[in-house]
Amino acid sequence: MRRACPYCQSSHQVGLDEYSLSPWRIVRCGECSFVYLANPVDYADLVEDQAWETNVLKEIERRKTDRPFSYRLSQLTRRRLKILGRPKSHRFSGVFKSGRILDVGCGKGENLPPPLVPFGVEISKNLSQIADKAMRARGGLCIHGNAVDGVKSFDSQFFDGVLLRSFLEHETKPLPLLIGLNRILKTDGIVYIRVPNFSSLNRRVMGRKWCGFRYPDHVNYFSMKSLSRMADKAGFRMRLVNRATVVVDDNIKAILEKT
Ligand SMILES: [Zn+2]
């Protein structure tokens, strides 16, 4: 799949060879400077063939080879894999007080503790079935499908909150997704977002070995500026949660509010 800039739709691309890993091409938009993967896999392949559970195992093998001395599982990978157990703390849970919350890319649907009413969208068939069962028991449900289409099945202003934790970097259509989320969110609702921080100091120091690079799972590489700009275009204002430490943080953590 060939892809134009997800922010401005320009097909003018400047290759970033130092960050690419054949056959995966990381590029910078020649018009707006957004950094993204130019040749991601299709949605259809993600349903089973390239599902997270499978892909992450291949990626771990690459990292072992690539970083034999400094190699360690990132917290994100550990959380996704579940094989090493799952941290019980929900550090973002204080963000949402109550009501209906949508977890985009919800996995097994374990991220939203009571009293929140959990809803999800999940592209992996297997995981979405597990999540749907768990969420229905608590008044919610999980939709199987890609995020952009899944979000369309909800009514306007249905949700009190949306969780976009470690998801937007995987989404080939991040702007349409944010626009869709704006529609289904109540006027005073919020989106909690966490994505790898391409503007982090660590990325500059580590280069291609930076933990934020995942081939081909991460298809968008947001800086604070490019995330804020995209949020703005979708009708949100962005507020950093980790403002004090973001320069040295591998992740951007932010709250989006409707403008
Ligand atoms: Zn662009």
Residues in contact with 173: Cβ distance below 8 Å, sequence separation at least 6, in sequence order: 6, 148
Distance in Å, CA 219 to ligand 1 centroid:
14
Question: Do residues 222 and 32 lie in contact, with contact meaning Cβ atoms separated by under 8 Å?
Answer: no
pLDDT for 60? 65
pLDDT tens sequence across 63-96? 666 654 444 444 444 444 444 333 444 556 578 9
pLDDT for 51 equals 56
The pair phi, psi for residue 144, each rounded to 5°, is: -90, 125
Handedness of CA 56, 57, 61, 64 (dihedral sign): positive
Ion ligand 1 — residues with CB < 5 Å: 5, 7-8, 10, 29, 31-32, 34
Please state the CATH superfamily assignment of the domain spanning residues 13-258 in this structure.
Vaccinia Virus protein VP39 (3.40.50.150)
* pLDDT score at 143: 97
- In this prediction, residue 1 has a pLDDT band, given cuts at 50, 70 and 90, of confident
Q: Report the sign of the C-alpha dihedral through residues 186, 188, 191, 192, in that order.
A: negative
Ligand 1 centre from 191 Cα, in Å? Answer: 24
Burial (Cβ within 10 Å: 0-12, 13-18, ≥19) of residue 64: exposed
One-letter identity of residue 189 = G
Residue 105 alpha carbon to ligand 1 centre in Å? 25
99-138 pLDDT, tens digit per residue, is 999 999 999 999 999 999 999 999 999 999 999 999 999 9
User: How do the domains of the chain map onto residue ranges?
Assistant: 13-258
- Regarding pTM above 0.75, the answer is yes
Instruction: Check pLDDT > 90 for residue 160.
Output: yes
**Ligand 1 centroid, distance to 157 Cα (angstroms):** 30
Token code pair at residue 114: 């009571």
Whether 57 shows a pLDDT value over 70: the answer reads no
Q: Specify the pLDDT at position 188.
A: 96
Q: Are 36 and 70 in contact (CB under 8 A)?
A: no
- Between the CA of 233 and the centroid of ligand 1 the distance, in Å, is 13
Mean pLDDT of all residues in the chain?
A: 87
Count Cβ atoms below 10 Å from residue 106 Cβ, excluding itself.
Answer: 29
Average confidence (pLDDT) over 171-185 = 97
- Give the residue with greater pLDDT, 87 vs 215: 215
Per-residue pLDDT at 83: 40
pLDDT for 85: 37
Report which of 216, 231, 224, 220 is spatially closest to residue 252, judged by C-alpha positions. Answer: 224
